[in-house]
Structure 1
């Protein structure tokens, strides 16, 4: 009820701005601007149901109808059917998913003007949907098994039923335990047009159900979201593809069984916010390391070699601690670099199935890095993205 009342107020405020027809003077007087007879209404449905959003619009000549969801144009398809007949504009969503929730707008335009109307659609997910589906599947298997039982196939049928119920039996044998997190989701960086994955691992007995939410709205597999949950291992994933700036925010995962419920949240941050967050984490990490550091024992750090020969000691310094590369490690790195340098441009292009790109001697430039790869220090369980920017003509591979 709070959602509907809030959306009603938002709709009224927004409607005051958009529901104005931009009238254009007509020469003959027969042209009638697109006019809104009845607007869209806020709608609340359960996931999996079909939903029809409808408004009534008049005008002459017949206006062109367009539908939008959160300012993104909707194209007519098997899942989203757009209809305009006898003055009624309809958007039919064949099967509504949680990620379809949001603001929908219908615009009508003819040569005399434009009119718009909007509403909010809320697709709710019942927390016991998954459990009902599991029960339905088990019931279907049992009924099928009963029909196939004959005197000649009793032994085979028993083995099949036993295999189907093995997991349930193992779960029943496990001691009861409320849901808990083995690993929690971590902060991720939003790169527009890319993809991002939130991961966690849960436990509990009976095996818990999980629900991912953003802003209180449940998220399920659909257009840009993919939810995966392996009950046998407890691994949970939420993958978002083709990310937009609007995807930034807090994402939560709720884990529930008959003995309790737990939840955890993580933010999807835009690049600037993510960099600030990572700097704070690094400062915190440095402070903790400084507080916990102890006097090194003999042999903890190999001594620096002072030599007058041409042999050099490769040393990497991280926050005052020295990590020496052995001769074998250094040789391995050099071998890898040599093998990489031997790969030709033609071989890389051919492997990727692309065409060779050439440039005239006057246009050709050596490849170089505008932004080199940076060093990062992260905590266990956190994610990191390495990136760089190159220049050159033709564009380097």
Structure 2
């Protein structure tokens, strides 16, 4: 008496719910930590103070495992055949999630599988180089660890490269007659030439 004020510290630094909204001091004085991260590991101290004095206690929080979370998944992309494209997949979790990329049921790249033209980057993203028309479809990034699985998907559209398929040929014609030069083009149906 009177009711003490409660102040929380992490690693001897006062906790500011304004600076770290994931940390919240509840009405009874307890500390709630939302969305645990590995950086939340540390020594937590609780100080209770009033005019009569002060008491404190502490505890150590070790965040050893966190379910995978795809923090930035792939987005729908369009590429011209023969060009390279990167489908992004950034993750968080502990232990660090293993990344697997699939197109339908087919595994394209993971820690143990790597098909030609498909490269699993250190960031977790997928590099397709060069792309083929047959690469069009839905791609899924799967992040997994001992705590669970998270996944995200995106569609890849591959446009056929515009090409001159029937170029003009050298020709000789009689003066005064008509000369016809050809220029046959193949292109993706979704673009006009």
TM-score normalised by the chain length of structure 2 = 0.52
Give the Cα–Cα distance (whole angstroms) in 1 for the partners of residues 143 and 183 of structure 2. 50
Asked if the contact 2:66–2:94 (Cα under 8 Å) also holds between the matched residues in 1, the reply is: yes
Name the one with the larger strand percent: 2
Aligned pairs for 1:248-267 (under 5 A) are none
The verdict on how the C-alpha distance between 1:114 and 1:174 changes in structure 2, with shifts beyond 3 A counting, is farther
Question: Aligned pair in 2 of structure 1 residues 66, 217: CA closer, same or farther (>3 Å)?
Answer: farther
Q: Which residue of 2 aligns with 1:79?
A: 117
- The question of whether the paired residues in 2 share the 8 Å contact of 1:40 and 1:117 is answered with yes
The number of equivalent residue pairs is 123
Shift of 1:210: 4.7
CA distance in 2, matches of 1:174, 1:61: 75
Name the CA distance, whole Å, in 2 between partners of 1:106 and 1:174. 59
| Larger helix share, 1 or 2 | 1
Counterparts of 1:10-25 in structure 2, within 5 Å, are none
Q: Give the whole-Å Cα distance in 2 for the aligned partners of 1:105 and 1:63.
A: 15
- Distance, in Å, in 2 between the alignment partners of 1:64 and 1:92 is 17
For the aligned residue pairs, the C-alpha RMSD in angstroms reads 3.4
Segments of 5+ residues of structure 1 without an aligned counterpart are 1-27, 139-164, 177-204, 219-257, 259-397
User: Does residue 140 of structure 2 align to residue 105 of structure 1?
Assistant: yes
The answer (yes or no) to whether the contact 1:98–1:217 under 8 Å persists in 2 is: no
* TM-score between the two structures when normalised by the length of structure 1: 0.27
Distance 2:127 2:91 in 1: 17
Pairing of 1:282-293 with structure 2 (within 5 A): none
- Partner SS for 1:99: helix
The CA distance in 1 between the partners of 2:91 and 2:80, in whole Å, is 28
What is the rounded CA distance, in whole Å, between the counterparts of 1:60 and 1:117 in structure 2? 19
- Larger RCO, structure (CA 8 Å, separation 6 or more): 2
Tell me how far apart the structure 1 counterparts of residues 105 and 146 of structure 2 sit (CA, whole Å): 22
Tell me by how many angstroms 1:134 deviates. 7.5
Which whole-Å CA distance do the structure 2 matches of 1:66 and 1:45 have between them?
A: 22
Residues 64 and 217 of structure 1: is their aligned pair in 2 closer, same or farther, counting only changes over 3 Å? farther
- Give unpaired runs (5+ residues) of structure 2: 1-61
* Alpha-carbon shift at residue 74 of structure 1 (Å): 0.4
Hey, what's the Cα distance between the residues in 1 that align with 2:134 and 2:179?
A: 36
**Could you list the per-position Cα deviations for residues 243-293 of structure 1 after superposition, in whole angstroms to 9, with x for gaps in the alignment?**
xxxxxxxxxxxxxxx9xxxxxxxxxxxxxxxxxxxxxxxxxxxxxxxxxxx
Mapped contact 2:69–2:92 kept (Cα < 8 A): yes
Which of 72, 75, 87 is 1:38 aligned to? 72
